[in-house]
Amino acid sequence: MKTLLQLGLAGVLPLTSHAAITEDFDSYVLGSNLHGQGSWKGWDNIPGAGALVADAHASSGTQAVNITRASDLVRVFSGVAGGKWTLSIKQYIPSTSTGDTYFLLLNQYNDLGPYNWSVQIQNNMGTGKVISDMGDGGTLDMVKDAWVEYRIEIDFADNTVKEYYNNQFLNTHAWQDGTGLNELAVIDLYANNADPVYYDDLNVAAATSDPFTAWIGPFFPGITDPMVIGEAADPDHDGLSNLMEYVLQDGDPTLSSTAILPTASITATALRFTFHRRASTITGTTQTFQYGSNLRDWTDVPITNGSLVTITADTPILGIDEVVVTVPQAANTKLFGRFKVTKP
């Protein structure tokens, strides 16, 4: 009996992407009040609580928004609820500015109320401290004369929020205290009569909960190119797609190796394929073994315990399944087998 072992990957769909809400302030007329433009308005719909588009500092393009004096600018969101979301925005504090200015998120907002607050971060420009007021609080040193990112990770399902400033952890606490809503209603940029502070590049997006994406990210820090991090990509040129590297024990998308491929052995009556997979990859992927007497017609065998498949958990180590597929030789003079992984 001749055998040929192939590792195949078929029918892979591109990663689904979530719609993101973005704002770079570059599409507005320079010097115009953001009140009434896009989803921006002054607190309680008061034009004088708006803020002006400025070009003194910009993180992207040439414009940002200047939050100063009477500015109490809100951006209204809808549909930012459920699951995990990440909000990020960049802030520039000139070293010449003084006063206390605030960055806030509300879970409930209506003009003239009711309101309900989830995140309140104070920028005390006199002491140079960034102070988170909710929960047990948190304080970090302020960075001035540079663009610094706030990153707010909201888990509506768990009712928790994590706050980061300049990529440093600032605070974590409940998103709402039981009197509010499990959604993001507005961002509020509140000058509190302080000197100018600039904001740019607001981004609100549903966080991916895809385990493959979470797995491959750390191998390629900062890289988003699907030709590198995509499921079907093979950046280490070992013939194993990233998705296959994800599933098989010791798969590494940066290390060229075929040692993790299934092995084949022949018994008196059957062809036996053995491989080891990460048990955690069962969720979110479809794993199928295919065999046939030619390379055209395949018989699918789902990788679940059955007459042809034996799965032994935690073998050879914790978290790894040993999978043995036994295909009877029957009348075949040739048998081909391949392991297929797809992702919905």
* CA dist., res. 273 & res. 289, Å (int): 9
The reply to whether 260 sits near Ca ion by the rule CB under 5 A is no
| Least distance from Ca ion to the Cβ atom of residue 48, Å | 24
The reply to whether 24 sits near Ca ion by the rule CB under 5 A is yes
| Least distance from Ca ion to the Cβ atom of residue 333, Å | 33
Place of tokens 């109490």: 72
Residue with smaller CB distance to Ca ion, 60 or 342: 60
Work out which of 37, 60, 86, 88 binds Ca ion, going by CB under 5 A: 60
Work out which of 61, 82, 137, 302 binds Ca ion, going by CB under 5 A: 61
| Least distance from Ca ion to the Cβ atom of residue 70, Å | 22
The reply to whether 335 sits near Ca ion by the rule CB under 5 A is no
Q: Is 45 helix (H, G, I), strand (E, B) or coil?
A: helix
The reply to whether 226 sits near Ca ion by the rule CB under 5 A is no
* CA dist., res. 206 & res. 228, Å (int): 22
| Least distance from Ca ion to the Cβ atom of residue 200, Å | 4
Judge whether 103 and 92 are in contact, CB under 8 Å. no
The reply to whether 195 sits near Ca ion by the rule CB under 5 A is no
The reply to whether 200 sits near Ca ion by the rule CB under 5 A is yes
Residue number closest to Ca ion, CB atom: 60
CA 19 centroid distance within chain: 12
Angstrom distances, CA of residue 56 to CA of 64, 103, 123, 201, 224: 8, 20, 20, 15, 31
Nearest to 144 by CA among 203, 187, 98: 98
Of 10-18, 80-88, 151-159, 233-241: span binding Ca ion (CB under 5 A): 233-241
The one-letter amino acid at 321 = D
* CA dist., res. 91 & res. 81, Å (int): 25
Number of neighbouring beta carbons within 10 Å of residue 139? 15
The reply to whether 55 sits near Ca ion by the rule CB under 5 A is no
Angstrom distances, CA of residue 163 to CA of 75, 125, 235: 19, 19, 34
Of 158-166, 182-190, 235-243, 304-312: span binding Ca ion (CB under 5 A): 235-243
Number of neighbouring beta carbons within 10 Å of residue 56? 11
Rg (CA), the chain: 27
| Least distance from Ca ion to the Cβ atom of residue 202, Å | 10
The reply to whether 216 sits near Ca ion by the rule CB under 5 A is no
Of 53-61, 103-111, 127-135, 332-340: span binding Ca ion (CB under 5 A): 53-61
| Least distance from Ca ion to the Cβ atom of residue 343, Å | 16
Strands 147-155 and 160-165: what pairing? antiparallel
The reply to whether 236 sits near Ca ion by the rule CB under 5 A is yes
| Least distance from Ca ion to the Cβ atom of residue 230, Å | 11
| Least distance from Ca ion to the Cβ atom of residue 220, Å | 12
Residue with smaller CB distance to Ca ion, 50 or 251: 251
The one-letter amino acid at 258 = T
Nearest to 301 by CA among 287, 289, 292: 289
Contacts to Ca ion by CB under 5 A? 24-26, 58, 60-61, 63, 200, 234, 236, 238, 240, 252, 255
